[in-house]
C-alpha cells in the first residue's frame, strides 16, 4: 500500500513523519515506595481509590481524606499534575489528571509525565481505545483482572511533538467541558423532576385551574391483575413470532420501551395473557423492599405481546376515572415507593402478594388533573432523555476524535508548525 506523503509505517501502524514511537514508561514514570496514611501530613491528604473515579471519563467523583476513610495500609503519594490510573479491572478505564497532591491506593499507579510530554495527552492515551484494549488483553488472569508494571512497560504509543500533544489535549478538553456542562444540566433537570414529582403527586402543589379534594382509592377497585407467561422452557425463548416484555424493561422505564422486546414462541393453542395498550406492569419481587412493584405503562398497541413470568399486569377498568400514566408516576415516586416498601415481605428476596396490591390505597385527584400532572412529568422526562442523548452523542464524538487525533489521522498543527 502506498503511503500518503508526510506519513510513515511504524510498528503500531501508519503515523505522521514527525511523530515517534516510544515505550509508555519512557513518557511517564511510575512512582515507587509507599507512605503511611496513619501519620501527618499524609493522613490529612485526599486518598483516591478506584471507586472514586468515573469510568471512561477521567472524572473524580469524590474527595475524602485518608483519615476520613480510616486508611491504615501503605499508599502511593502523587503530586499535582500526575496521572492516577487504576490498574485493577482495566476495562473500566479509570484514570484522572490530578490537580492536587494526595494519596492513591495500592490498586493504582501514579504516573509522572516526562518533561517533553503533556500529561493531558497521556491521559487521553490511557483512556483511549488502543491502550484500554491492550490492558484488557494482558490482564486476563484468575482472580482480579490487573495490569502490572512489566505489562505497562511493554506498551508503546505514538508521540507527536509537544505543541501538537498540547493541541490534541486542548481539543479533547473542549469536548470535556461540553460534557461537564451537559452533566450539570442533567443533574439540575433530575433534581427539578424529583421536586416536581414530590410536589405534584402529593397535592402539595396544584397546577393552575385545579382545586378540590383528592380521594383515597384501593387499587383493587381500579383494575384487575393478570399473570405473566407460564409453562415456558428455555427453548421457547429467542424464537417464534410473539414478543415479550423483559423484567428490566419494567424496572427501568416509566413507559415500556417498545424497541427492546424479545422473542418467544407462543402456540395458538396456549392460554396466555396478552399485554394491551394502557396496562400497568409490575415486578413482583426484588432483592430489596424498595424495588418491589415498580410500575411501567404499556402506552402502545402491540400485537402478540406478552409479559415475562417474574412480573404481573394490571388492567384498569373502563369505567374508573384513572389515568394510567399518572398512576405509574405515583407508584414510582416517593408516595408509591413507601407504600410498596411497607407491603413487601421476605428476608433475602422480597415479594409483594397480589392480595396486598389490591388492598393498597392511592391518593387520586379528578382525572383531568391526573392527566395534566402526567403531562408535566412526561415533559420533564422527555427533556431529560434529550439531554442524556446529547451527552451520549458527545461522548461518542469524543471517542471518534481520540481515535483520529491519537493516531495522527487528523492533524491539528501543520507539520512546519509542529516543532515551534
49 and 72 Cβ atoms separated by less than 8 Å: no
Q: How many of the other CB atoms lie within 10 Å of CB of 71?
A: 21
Q: Positive or negative CA dihedral for 206, 207, 208, 211?
A: negative
Are residues 93 and 24 part of one domain?
yes
What is the mean predicted confidence (pLDDT) over 332-341? Answer: 92
The answer to whether residue 10 sits within a structural domain is: no
Are residues 358 and 227 part of one domain?
yes
**Which of 15-19, 20-24, 344-348, 388-392 is the least confident region?**
344-348
Using pLDDT thresholds of 50, 70 and 90, give the confidence band for residue 1. low
Per-residue pLDDT reduced to its tens digit, 254-285: 999 999 999 999 999 999 999 999 999 999 99
Cell of 157: 504509543
Please state, in angstroms and rounded to a whole number, the distance separating the CA atoms of residues 392 and 57: 12
Using pLDDT thresholds of 50, 70 and 90, give the confidence band for residue 417. very low
70 and 135 Cβ atoms separated by less than 8 Å: no
Are residues 343 and 298 part of one domain?
yes
Using pLDDT thresholds of 50, 70 and 90, give the confidence band for residue 318. confident
The per-residue pLDDT for 213 is 94
Per-residue pLDDT reduced to its tens digit, 207-220: 999 999 999 999 99
What is the mean predicted confidence (pLDDT) over 291-295? Answer: 93
The per-residue pLDDT for 221 is 95
- Give the residue with greater pLDDT, 413 vs 223: 223
The overall average pLDDT reported for the chain is 93
Are residues 355 and 255 part of one domain?
yes
The answer to whether residue 261 sits within a structural domain is: yes
Per-residue pLDDT reduced to its tens digit, 120-162: 999 999 999 999 999 999 988 657 899 999 999 999 999 999 9
Are residues 400 and 360 part of one domain?
no
Are residues 341 and 309 part of one domain?
yes
Residue 389: pLDDT over 90: yes
- List strand residue ranges (DSSP E) for 148-232, in order: 156-159, 215-218, 223-227
Choose among 335, 296, 381, 293: nearest CA to 201. 335
Paired strand residues for 264:
237
Residue 90: pLDDT over 60: yes
Are residues 204 and 92 part of one domain?
no
Are residues 346 and 288 part of one domain?
yes
Q: Which of 346, 364, 382 is the last residue of a domain?
A: 364
Are residues 279 and 264 part of one domain?
yes
The rounded radius of gyration (Å) of the Cα atoms in the chain is 28
Domain that holds residue 44: 20-159
The per-residue pLDDT for 142 is 55
Per-residue pLDDT reduced to its tens digit, 25-79: 999 999 889 999 999 999 999 999 999 999 999 999 999 999 999 999 999 999 9
Number of domains observed in the structure of the chain: 3
How distant is the alpha carbon of residue 217 from its chain centre?
Answer: 37
What b-and-e string marks burial along 216-225, b requiring 16 or more CB atoms within 10 Å of the CB?
Answer: ebebbebbeb
Percentage of residues in the chain having pLDDT higher than 70: 97
Q: State if pTM tops 0.75.
A: yes
The per-residue pLDDT for 265 is 96
What distance, in Å, lies between the first and last C-alpha atoms of the chain?
32
User: Residue 412: which CATH number?
Assistant: 1.10.287.1120
Are residues 385 and 347 part of one domain?
no
Cell of 168: 490534541
The answer to whether residue 12 sits within a structural domain is: no
The answer to whether residue 6 sits within a structural domain is: no
Q: Which of 159, 184, 201 is the last residue of a domain?
A: 159
The answer to whether residue 1 sits within a structural domain is: no
Using pLDDT thresholds of 50, 70 and 90, give the confidence band for residue 204. very high
User: Residue 35: which CATH number?
Assistant: 3.90.220.20
The answer to whether residue 11 sits within a structural domain is: no
364 and 316 Cβ atoms separated by less than 8 Å: no
The answer to whether residue 7 sits within a structural domain is: no
* 170: Cβ contacts below 8 Å, ≥ 6 apart: 120
Amino acid at each position: 500500500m502506498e503511503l500518503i506523503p508526510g506519513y510513515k509505517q511504524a510498528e503500531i501502524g501508519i503515523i505522521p513523519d514527525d511523530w515517534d514511537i516510544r515505550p509508555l514508561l519512557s513518557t511517564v514514570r511510575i512512582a515507587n515506595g509507599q507512605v503511611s496514611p496513619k501519620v501527618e501530613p499524609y493522613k490529612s491528604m485526599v486518598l483516591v481509590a478506584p471507586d472514586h473515579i468515573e469510568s471512561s471519563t477521567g472524572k473524580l467523583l469524590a474527595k475524602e481524606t485518608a483519615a476520613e476513610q480510616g486508611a491504615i495500609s501503605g499508599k502511593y503519594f502523587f503530586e499535582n499534575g500526575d496521572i492516577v490510573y487504576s490498574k485493577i479491572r482495566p476495562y473500566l478505564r479509570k484514570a484522572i489528571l490530578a490537580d492536587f497532591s494526595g494519596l492513591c491506593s495500592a490498586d493504582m499507579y501514579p504516573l509522572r509525565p516526562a518533561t517533553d510530554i503533556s500529561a493531558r495527552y497521556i491521559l487521553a492515551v490511557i483512556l483511549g481505545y488502543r491502550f484500554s484494549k491492550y490492558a484488557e488483553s494482558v490482564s486476563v488472569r484468575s482472580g482480579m483482572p490487573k495490569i502490572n508494571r512489566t505489562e505497562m512497560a511493554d506498551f508503546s504509543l505514538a508521540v507527536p511533538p509537544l505543541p501538537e500533544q498540547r493541541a490534541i489535549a486542548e481539543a479533547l478538553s473542549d469536548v470535556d467541558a461540553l460534557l461537564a456542562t451537559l452533566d450539570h444540566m442533567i443533574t439540575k433537570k433530575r433534581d427539578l423532576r424529583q421536586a416536581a414529582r414530590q410536589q405534584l403527586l402529593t397535592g402539595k402543589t396544584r397546577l393552575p385551574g385545579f382545586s378540590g379534594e383528592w380521594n383515597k382509592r384501593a387499587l383493587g377497585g381500579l383494575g384487575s391483575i393478570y399473570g405473566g407467561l407460564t409453562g415456558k422452557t428455555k427453548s421457547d425463548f429467542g424464537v417464534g413470532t410473539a414478543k415479550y416484555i423483559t423484567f428490566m424493561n419494567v424496572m427501568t422505564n416509566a413507559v415500556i420501551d417498545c424497541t427492546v422486546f424479545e422473542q418467544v414462541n407462543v402456540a395458538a393453542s396456549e392460554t396466555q395473557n396478552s399485554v394491551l395498550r394502557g396496562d400497568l406492569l409490575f415486578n413482583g419481587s426484588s432483592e430489596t423492599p424498595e424495588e418491589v412493584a415498580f410500575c411501567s405503562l404499556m402506552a402502545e398497541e402491540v400485537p402478540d405481546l406478552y409479559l415475562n413470568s417474574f412480573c404481573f399486569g394490571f388492567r384498569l377498568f373502563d369505567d374508573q376515572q384513572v389515568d394510567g400514566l399518572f398512576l405509574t408516576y405515583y407508584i414510582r415516586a416517593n408516595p408509591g415507593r413507601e407504600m410498596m416498601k411497607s407491603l413487601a415481605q421476605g428476608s433475602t428476596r422480597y415479594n409483594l402478594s397480589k392480595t396486598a396490591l389490591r388492598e393498597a390505597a392511592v391518593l387520586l385527584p379528578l382525572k383531568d388533573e391526573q392527566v395534566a400532572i402526567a403531562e408535566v412529568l412526561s415533559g420533564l422526562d422527555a427533556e431529560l432523555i434529550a439531554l442524556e442523548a446529547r451527552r451520549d452523542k458527545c461522548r461518542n464524538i469524543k471517542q471518534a476524535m481520540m481515535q483520529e487525533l491519537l493516531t495522527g489521522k487528523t492533524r491539528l498543527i501543520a507539520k512546519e508548525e509542529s516543532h515551534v
